[in-house]
Amino acid sequence: MTRATFHYDKVFALELGDEIQNLQIEYSAYGKLNSDKSNVIWVCHALTANSDVSNWWSGLFGEGSVFDPSKFFIICANNLGSPYGSSSPLSDNSSTSKKYNLDFPELTLRDCAKANLLLAKHLGLKDIHLLIGGSCGGNIALEMAYLLNLRVEHLVLLCSAALESPFNIAVHEGQRMALEADCSFGTQKEAAGSKGLMAARGMALNFYRTFDSISESQREESAEVTNNFKASSYIRYQGKKLVDRFDPLCYYKLLNTLDTHNIGRGRKSIKHALSKIMCKTLCIGIDSDILIPAQEQKFLADFIPKGKYVEIKSNYGHDGFLLEFDQIKQELIKFLA
């Protein structure tokens, strides 16, 4: 794996009217380009993931698998706003030599897609064999496919949608309220916002999984338990895990960014925008997903001209796109064949 940072030496204009100076995009790449640069797999990562695809999608990665570095040039860029090296609230503002913090410009997912295209141009990539993403990453991939049009050969969208639903925006607002309730959030104090982030993650996890999966994995062995429940410990543990690897300011800004997603904005309508995506497209839904239900993927497949829908059965809900490796692998193999 090669890890590098692309520095853009021009002003990066944002969709909502602001701009980023000294834009930087941290990315990871695996394998080598072939002579005609036709073996590119571009992966867009989810909300709190990073560019190391071999880590969080390990079941699809490796020799003989779908993401095979011996055959393909596989690239993933850290999303703008994330704390893993791309421009974010943790970046230095060159004009003041201070961190942006909450003053970091508001982004849209369209900005994230356009930043990825700047990186592709920098690397001399004109065509993409496979463009793939799940959840937030799928939404970014959808925007990239619209902008690139026929330069994408295959598009795969997992647990994503044409726009951010009112349901999801409501979930995000609850998480923002949890962050704002932490009086240290947005300050220069050590570990500022950590308690808010822990609570926000705990709220989200229930929508990432299902009633059955949590009930089965966190069931008490004794009927006499009246406190210190396994389910309570599990939620706190998952919140602490995110605090240890993510930043509260980045999380807050990324929730705002997610809410802007609408493929039809400024493009007549959602259906009209989807009709312009002419690449061969596979939309994968999960039957138990309550965050982005399968109907959202069916809608994409219905209005993307070369769209196809398949459904995966999973007990894990939305997180199934990160866990159901075998089923996803089989669908990808059939699609790419």
Write the CATH number for 329: 3.40.50.1820
**pLDDT grade, residue 191 (50/70/90)?**
very high
206 and 245 in a common domain: yes
Residue 71 has pLDDT above 80, yes or no: yes
Residue 210 has pLDDT above 80, yes or no: yes
147 and 65 in a common domain: yes
Mean pLDDT within 267-284: 98
234 and 176 in a common domain: yes
Residues catalogued as catalytic = 135, 289, 318
Q: Which residue has the higher pLDDT, 71 or 93?
A: 71
Mean pLDDT within 298-320: 98
| Range(s) of the domain holding residue 217 | 168-257
Residue 213 burial (CB count, 10 A): 18
- Token pair in block for residue 144: 């990239």
Confidence (pLDDT) at 281: 98
10 Å CB burial of residue 36 (0-12, 13-18, 19+) is exposed
**pLDDT grade, residue 98 (50/70/90)?**
very low
51 and 197 in a common domain: no
Number of structural domains found in the chain: 2
44 and 153 in a common domain: yes
Q: Write out the H or E segment, with its range, that includes residue 238.
A: helix 230-245
pTM, two decimals, is: 0.96
Confidence (pLDDT) at 311: 98
Are the beta carbons of 337 and 306 closer than 8 angstroms? Answer: no
**pLDDT grade, residue 233 (50/70/90)?**
very high
Question: What are the distances in angstroms from CA 101 to CA 70, 81, 105, 193, 267?
Answer: 41, 11, 10, 12, 32
Q: Are strands 2-7 and 19-20 parallel, antiparallel or unpaired?
A: unpaired
User: Integer distance in angstroms from the first to the last C-alpha of the chain?
Assistant: 26
Q: What are phi and psi of 59, to 5 degrees?
A: -70, -15
Mean pLDDT within 106-119: 98
Are the beta carbons of 159 and 141 closer than 8 angstroms? Answer: no
Q: Look up the CATH number of the domain holding residue 248.
A: 1.10.1740.110
Confidence (pLDDT) at 95: 42
Which of 208, 228, 257 is the last residue before a domain boundary? 257
15 and 113 in a common domain: yes
**pLDDT grade, residue 87 (50/70/90)?**
very high
Which of 206, 229, 257 is the last residue before a domain boundary? 257
DSSP assigned state of 61: B
Are the beta carbons of 201 and 325 closer than 8 angstroms? Answer: no
Q: What is the mean pLDDT of the chain?
A: 95
175 and 69 in a common domain: no
175 and 160 in a common domain: no
143 and 43 in a common domain: yes
211 and 198 in a common domain: yes
Percent of the chain with pLDDT over 90: 92
**pLDDT grade, residue 92 (50/70/90)?**
low
Confidence (pLDDT) at 188: 83
Mean pLDDT within 73-83: 97
Residue 46 burial (CB count, 10 A): 24
Percent of the chain with pLDDT over 70: 97
Residue 99 has pLDDT above 90, yes or no: no
Confidence (pLDDT) at 129: 98
**pLDDT grade, residue 100 (50/70/90)?**
low
Which of 257, 290, 316 is the last residue before a domain boundary? 257
46 and 6 in a common domain: yes
Question: What are the distances in angstroms from CA 337 to CA 30, 56, 79, 302, 333?
Answer: 22, 24, 30, 22, 6
Confidence (pLDDT) at 96: 41
